A and B are shown apart, each in its own frame.
Chain A
Amino acid sequence: MILRSVLLGSTIAAGVAVLLAQPAAAAPWKRGFVVGEYGFAFRYGGRAGGSETEPAADCARGSATHFNDEGEMRKALGRQPWRSKQEIDYIVAPPEIDKARLPTYVRFYVWGRAVSYRGWRKGIETYINPFAAHDPGQPEVVSRISDGFNLDGNQKTGGFISPDGERGVDNALYRAWGCDAPFRNPASGTLDLRENTQMQEGLYTVVIRISGNQDPMNDNDATVEIGYSPDKIVRDARANVAPDYSYRMVKSEQYTKLKARIVNGVVETEQVGELHVPRIGWFPDQMGDADFHKGKLKLKIDADGRNASGFVGGYRNWLDLLSENTFAQTGAEQGIRDHEDAVGLYYALKRNADGMPDPKTGRNTGISMAYRIKAVPAHVVDPATPAQVRRPAEDEKRRKGFEMVKAAMVKAVSTRIVQEVPLGTGEAQFPAMERTIADLPSKDFFLQHFDAPGKLDENGKVIMPKPKSEPQRQVKNGVATTVASAEDDDQ
């Protein structure tokens, strides 16, 4: 597998060894790293080379399956008492689908619209309003071993033991989402693979710099800095992350500086109230802040002093997590394509939330988690002239759409008041479904029975609401605009 050999890629052949002299005496030192692998710290319990569907110690029945086939669709749609049998039959197997030019897409979008509306009554879009749908169930991780940190210092909470034997590891996100198909097993989980490929292809760069005054392998007064670099990852002739390249570290919102102790090459930072680091993702608009409350970072430097691997973790607001994952494209997209159910993931988060209690309600707004990190040596430098992380203009359009949908979901969940789907964002596969079924003979059935966030005009364009006196987005008066949506890219 091309990508998995990424990090251990600085193979040193029999012919030549490159050894740098290690300073033995106390002297100021610094070491830089560029992150080559970055994703959820979900420990895969299956055998090496196994797939995400394999039953194993972590997920007794393998990864969760949702919307995989007609049977599962019927199960999911059967929970809505307001759906007739005919409707379910038609959704599961749209009549005369073979007469459509793109039957596979027809099915994809019809299913997508269907699963976007699974409320207790008709008309509620349940990716924005997950509380209004039945909990479809999300199998949780059953094993006791997990990477991560004991965030609350309490060995009795958390329920996990780290591979090194540390008790009380708090990684409730792993428990909640560890059997989610796209993230189970970094070697085959489709979104884990995807986000890492995109990062290595230059979507974003995370750099780490460790410095101290004593010795790189043992120092009780070290400093760890982590943040974005505007410089793209450079890959070598074997498509691995190339070592020893220089990267600037920018002091943006995602820059954090921490105190640390190093013992035999293991770097452990202090635990801080808020640790800001770059967020994982596979689309440009997902780039942003992962703020870990009570966060800390731990890295193990290899014996040869070159590569490093470890974790950064803490408690994160679980609504942030949910929206970042669900609305990367649309809720239904990842549902049908990657067999995830964001409604199930919502309930799983709610059940497992174990931190950041709301002062008023006492309910946990955060969940313990960690990102795993594999890093390669780099020269991390401060920019000579002010520099910023790349934020191309096209991404801003998508980002706005994301923010709108997220805001709607957060409001819905917090207030328990059903929110509408913001138009022009593509959520609920609108208007993708309407457009795709245009040549389906049975399309009228779906147009009549399906809920839709809005309407299309006679030209097939979304009818946008009239701009308010203070437009929330830049809208030319009288001209309908669309915020970039999931339609703009493919599956």
Chain B
Amino acid sequence: MRKKVLLAVAALLAASAAIPAWAAAGGQVTGLRRLSEQEYRNSIADVFGKDITVSGMFEPQVRMGGLVATSTAVLSVTPVGFDSFSKMADSIALQVTSDKHRKLVPCAPASAKEADDACAAQFFSHYGLLLFRRPLTADEVKARVNLARVMTKSGSDFYAGLRYGLAEMLQSPNFLFRKEVAVPAGGKTLTLDPYSRATRLSYLMWDTTPDSDLLQAAQTGELNTAPGLEKQVMRLLASPRLDNGMRAFFTDMLELDTFDNVSKDPLIYAKWSGPMASSAKEETLRSTIDLALHQNGDMRDLMTTRKTFINRSLAAIYDVDFTFDGDWMPYEFPKDSGRSGVVTQVSMLSMFSHPGQSSPTKRGVALMDIFLCEPTPTPPANVDFSAVNDTHGPLKTVRERLLAHATTPTCASCHNHSDPIGLSLEGFDTIGQRRLTENGQSIDLSATIKGKSFKDGAGLGQFLHDDPKYPACLARKLYAYGTGVNSEDVETSAFKTTYKSFVDSGYRMRALIKGLVESPEFFNMPAPAAADASDGKTKLALH
């Protein structure tokens, strides 16, 4: 298999050695997206094989417009971050050029103790294409070959030269950042060049670096034709690797990384320990991917399905029998369980909730933002939370206390917007267990949003299922995820075609993806009027 890749890449290189398409006159950099941790790891695994270990600290992510992916378009690399990338680069390069992985070097030097520019050039061209996601220019190859020669001399070791050259490439901005280059496409539009297309497609659909087939389609220019694009899209859709891509998307959209900061009070909720968080995360991903990709189901059902997958730890929270037939078992909640879709899974219920008690506001705010693309502004600085948090006062349930607190006019406008969702979920405690009473009092699970009334988790699920804002939000977020734009800044017209395909297909995820990547808005953009109009950043003095 590896040999096949080597041959394919070699062929590509031979064909593209002359003029890199991206350097054509008029090419503009329209996007620069820093690799996320998962993208970095997946890319390394695909380029060098799973045997190569990657360990180090990745910089924290920032969520913008509901998606972490968006921040990759605006963040840079800090000194601490670069230091870490540098160390990882060295570690990876060391492994790749070690005796153990000799097969990863596609040629043999004349002497293992001396420089061999031809073999070094082959090595750097080969991996340069795979790592930079485009062919290297002759100058770029030469620079690495020269570096390798110097390094080889100092240690009398050909492979040491390769190591340092490879390490350099792995900390180069060409690897760490996905450069998106657009070329004029007639009239006032720009279109992404083929390699940029390949990169965008691959990271969206498979969460990894473009494979040799995709690179080939870029090199021949096929990707810039409709049938060529369709062919690749169908191939990527048909692969089981689509699961990886969509897992990454849903992890982002459903904000599952929130778990990194969730802790529950061990005095009250001692059951929340050990693998509970990772189990909850996996449950949500499994059930979502199963519906979206394996069953090819109606994505609105994500709000109402009672089918899920649970493991032994989750079975203890859901208080059901676990069958021990494998680590994960499919499970369907009974009708009267109050469970409905992803919004009543342990993940959603526990991530947006306090350590010691549930929070209708947090849940409401999160779900409105995640599924309806309706974010809520932050509260004013001088709010007095003492009444809300007083569990010993006359108001026994969280709901009662919250409603009392939210009657103040300044508070009501936001709270009325988001609390109802959370209030209907009060039948579940902060770790997602079902409860019918709180502090001895039975809980009122009714809620009203904009005149529509519903009750409990099942009612909420149905409400969200029926709200057209949800599928529109899903489409918007997939668009933002794929293009790196802030979802709040996306014009509705930008994903109109995409949304239509989605609806027409009966809300199938595959149709959404295909519709998105084949829509004109995905790879094309209007030519900017002035040089800096494409980004809205505050200008700083350049030095």
Give the interface of A toward B (CB within 8 A): 9-11, 13-21, 231, 234-238, 240, 242-246, 248, 379, 381, 383-385, 387
Flag if A17 contacts B268 (CB, 8 Å): no
Give, as a whole number of angstroms, the nearest-CB distance from B429 to chain A.
6
Flag if A16 contacts B324 (CB, 8 Å): no
Flag if A18 contacts B429 (CB, 8 Å): yes
| Of the residues A9, A15, A379, A383, contact of B270 by C-beta under 8 Å | A9
Say if the beta carbon of B184 comes within 8 Å of chain A: no
Flag if B438 contacts A16 (CB, 8 Å): yes
Interchain CA distance A16-B321 in the complex, whole Å: 24
Flag if A16 contacts B439 (CB, 8 Å): yes
| Of the residues B266, B321, B433, B438, contact of A238 by C-beta under 8 Å | B266
Flag if A237 contacts B270 (CB, 8 Å): yes
Tell whether A11 pairs with B267 under 8 Å between CB atoms, given A246-B312, A381-B323, A385-B325: yes
Flag if A237 contacts B266 (CB, 8 Å): yes
Flag if A19 contacts B321 (CB, 8 Å): no
What are 18 inter-chain pairs, A to B, with CB distance below 8 A? A10-B270, A11-B268, A15-B268, A15-B438, A16-B268, A16-B435, A17-B439, A18-B433, A231-B312, A237-B264, A237-B270, A238-B270, A242-B270, A244-B271, A244-B319, A245-B313, A379-B319, A384-B323
Interface set, chain B 141-197, CB cutoff 8 A to A: none
Say if the beta carbon of B315 comes within 8 Å of chain A: yes
| Of the residues B273, B274, B392, contact of A14 by C-beta under 8 Å | B392
Interchain CA distance A269-B315 in the complex, whole Å: 30
Flag if A384 contacts B324 (CB, 8 Å): yes
| Of the residues A13, A17, A20, A245, contact of B316 by C-beta under 8 Å | A245
Say if the beta carbon of B416 comes within 8 Å of chain A: no
The residues of A that contact B312 with a CB separation of less than 8 Å are 231, 245-246
Give, as a whole number of angstroms, the nearest-CB distance from A427 to chain B.
40
The residues of A that contact B322 with a CB separation of less than 8 Å are 246, 379, 381
The residues of A that contact B273 with a CB separation of less than 8 Å are 235-237, 242
Interchain CA distance A387-B325 in the complex, whole Å: 11
Flag if B357 contacts A16 (CB, 8 Å): yes
Flag if B437 contacts A19 (CB, 8 Å): yes
Give, as a whole number of angstroms, the nearest-CB distance from B280 to chain A.
15
Flag if A236 contacts B435 (CB, 8 Å): no
Q: Mark B459-501, 1 if CB is under 8 A from A, else 0.
A: 0000000000000000000000000000000000000000000
Say if the beta carbon of B320 comes within 8 Å of chain A: yes
Interface set, chain B 258-299, CB cutoff 8 A to A: 264, 266-274
Say if the beta carbon of B60 comes within 8 Å of chain A: no
Q: Which chain B residue lies CB-closest to A235? A: B273
Tell whether A15 pairs with B356 under 8 Å between CB atoms, given A236-B271, A245-B315: yes
Interface set, chain B 345-379, CB cutoff 8 A to A: 356-357
Interface set, chain B 78-123, CB cutoff 8 A to A: none
Flag if B324 contacts A242 (CB, 8 Å): no
Give, as a whole number of angstroms, the nearest-CB distance from B419 to chain A.
19
Q: Which chain B residue lies CB-closest to A230? A: B324
Q: Which chain A residue lies CB-closest to B311? A: A246
Interface set, chain B 303-332, CB cutoff 8 A to A: 312-313, 315-317, 319-325
Q: Which chain B residue lies CB-closest to A10? A: B270
Say if the beta carbon of B225 comes within 8 Å of chain A: no
Q: Which chain B residue lies CB-closest to A242? A: B271
Q: Which chain B residue lies CB-closest to A385? A: B325
Tell whether A238 pairs with B391 under 8 Å between CB atoms, given A246-B324, A379-B322: no
Flag if A17 contacts B357 (CB, 8 Å): no
Give, as a whole number of angstroms, the nearest-CB distance from A13 to chain B.
4
For A17, A236, A237, A383, which residue has the most chain B Cβ atoms within 10 angstroms? A237
Say if the beta carbon of B436 comes within 8 Å of chain A: yes
New contact pairs (16) apart from A237-B266, A238-B266, A242-B316, CB-CB < 8 Å: A11-B267, A13-B268, A15-B356, A15-B391, A16-B357, A231-B324, A234-B274, A234-B313, A237-B270, A238-B270, A240-B270, A245-B316, A246-B322, A379-B320, A381-B322, A385-B324
Interface set, chain B 432-463, CB cutoff 8 A to A: 433, 435-440
The residues of B that contact A234 with a CB separation of less than 8 Å are 274, 313, 316
Interchain CA distance A10-B267 in the complex, whole Å: 9
Flag if B267 contacts A16 (CB, 8 Å): no
The residues of B that contact A18 with a CB separation of less than 8 Å are 429, 433, 435
Interchain CA distance A385-B326 in the complex, whole Å: 10
Interchain CA distance A381-B269 in the complex, whole Å: 25
Interface set, chain B 228-286, CB cutoff 8 A to A: 264, 266-274
Interchain CA distance A272-B320 in the complex, whole Å: 32
The residues of A that contact B440 with a CB separation of less than 8 Å are 17
The residues of B that contact A246 with a CB separation of less than 8 Å are 312, 315-316, 321-324
Which 5 residue pairs are nearest across A and B when measured between Cβ atoms? A246-B322, A237-B266, A236-B270, A237-B273, A384-B325
Give, as a whole number of angstroms, the nearest-CB distance from B394 to chain A.
14
Interchain CA distance A208-B266 in the complex, whole Å: 27
Flag if A14 contacts B439 (CB, 8 Å): yes
Interchain CA distance A236-B274 in the complex, whole Å: 8
Q: Which chain A residue lies CB-closest to B268? A: A13
Interchain CA distance A18-B440 in the complex, whole Å: 9
| Of the residues A13, A17, A383, contact of B324 by C-beta under 8 Å | A383
Tell whether A19 pairs with B435 under 8 Å between CB atoms, given A11-B267, A14-B391: yes
Interchain CA distance A20-B336 in the complex, whole Å: 13
The residues of B that contact A240 with a CB separation of less than 8 Å are 270
